[in-house]
Amino acid sequence: MNEATRFPPGALPGDTADPGRALFALVARLFPICRSITGNGVRETLAILSEHVDIAVREVPTGTQVFDWTVPKEWTVRGAFLRTANGRTVVDFADSNLHLMNYSEPVLRRLSLEELRPHLHTLPDQPDLIPYRTSYYSRDWGFCMTHRDYLALPDEEYEVFIDTELADGALTYGEVFLPGETDREVLFSAHICHPSLANDNCSGLAVLALLAQTLARRRNRFGYRFLFAPGTIGALCWLAANEEATRRIDHGLVVSCIGDGGGPVYKRSRRGDAVIDRAVDAVRCEGRRVATVDFSPFGYDERQFCSPGFNLPVGLLQRSAFGSFPQYHTSADNLDLVQPQHLASSFRMILDIVEVLEGDWLPLNLSPKGEPQLGRRGLYSATGGHKVTSDVTMGYLWVLNLADGAHTLLDIARRSGLPFRDIAEAAARLKAGGLLADAGPSA
């Protein structure tokens, strides 16, 4: 690949200091594409992401059984519109790919307004927005429009034109694997099936593409696996083909709705106390702690990875939680909702989580009887009597007190309330000073 073309001119590929502009440019490029759970929109999206990181593209044929599901027919859309009897177009797929209900079957008919109404979808409480609707697993068709335009429809005959095709083909997903120094793995996943919805989930695709590119340039303890797959059926396809690989996954995150300024919000894994659940609690985003909620079997693909037959340690990381912000699954989830600075801070938050996973280890205090004398080792202020103890000193004291072979650095960070990075730095200095031994990596 040509290094210079991975990100737009002027943006450094893999620039972790100021990634916002490059991330937003990638989101903007992905936004217009009409994606679904199958079809060329997914392939086009993967081709763009492949300019940034090497992606293995997988194709799963129509009719393939994946657990209790079957890969559906491939959907192709060429155009769709709704016209009045005098030829005035009232809805056009060319104006917004949200106008067509995703997976609509082909239609060429003339219908009265009364016959048409059951196939028109609006948001009465948000009359100026177009809703996002799908019909993946039942044959149907429909148009989505603003409720204001719906109320203005004249009572006459309409020409319905939907140029789509449902035929045998394949479901497509992308996968990246970056080997680590051990055979243990971290899984990152973002759904790739939504059409023009910027936060849900062009933002997740862009952030994980840059994360994969960044980690590919480093030496890592863990292997990192990135999955860009259609929601539900795509994750199930990967799980069905990779049951053996799931046994090597120690940590995982599903990433979605990561480009706005809300939250952040984290939904714990089904286990509830996995290392990833604790690691997220140790990071900050734009100065804020991550709010955590308990696992529930509703949401994105964390519910597939956390299904009882797999029970993987995978949580869901978002800025504003799905369904909680007014733009969710509407035409207002556009490029005005996501902002470069929020994309950048989300990227750094996830990179900080990676640093926790990579940097966690089990310290053992080699001088556990009373506090060791830090001053003669250059680790303590030569002047005593201060009213307030510095965070640096508190980091040393917390590490020494809890380094009993039963608490990892992550445990110590959470117990102390100090940032993981500060605890890790304190532990490194204590180890260099001969006061700590490494009792092994974290679990």
What residues form the annotated binding site for Zn(2+)?
Answer: 194, 200, 329
Looking at beta carbons, which pairs linking 18-22 to residues 24 or more positions away fall under 8 Å? 18/344, 19/210, 19/343, 19/344, 19/347, 19/348, 20/339, 20/340, 20/341, 20/342, 20/343, 20/344, 21/340, 22/210
Contact of 234 with 170, CB cutoff 8 Å: no
The Cα 377–Cα 369 span in angstroms is 17
Among 215, 177, 209, CA closest to 353: 215
Question: Taking a C-beta distance cutoff of 8 angstroms, is the pair 143, 83 a contact?
Answer: no
The number of C-alpha atoms within 13 Å of 326 and in the hemisphere containing its C-beta is: 6
Integer angstrom CA distances of residue 185 from 78, 179, 224, 273 = 40, 8, 6, 18
How far is Cα 65 from Cα 233, in angstroms, rounded to an integer? 10
For 191, the token pair is 């759904």
Q: Estimate the crossing angle of helix 20-30 against helix 340-359, to 10 degrees.
A: 110
**Residues annotated in a binding site:** 194, 200, 329
What Rg do the C-alpha atoms of the chain give, in angstroms? 25
Mapped onto helix, strand or coil, the DSSP state of residue 90 is: strand
Whole-angstrom distance, CA of residue 192 vs CA of residue 110: 34
Selection from 75, 421, 95, 432 nearest residue 230 by Cα: 75
What residue type is 68 in one-letter code? D
CA distance 42 to 119: 26
User: Do 363 and 434 meet the contact criterion of CB atoms below 8 Å apart?
Assistant: no
> How are the residues of the chain apportioned to helix, strand and coil, as percentages rounded to the nearest 5?
30, 25, 45
**Rounded (10°) angle between helices 340-359 and 420-432:** 40
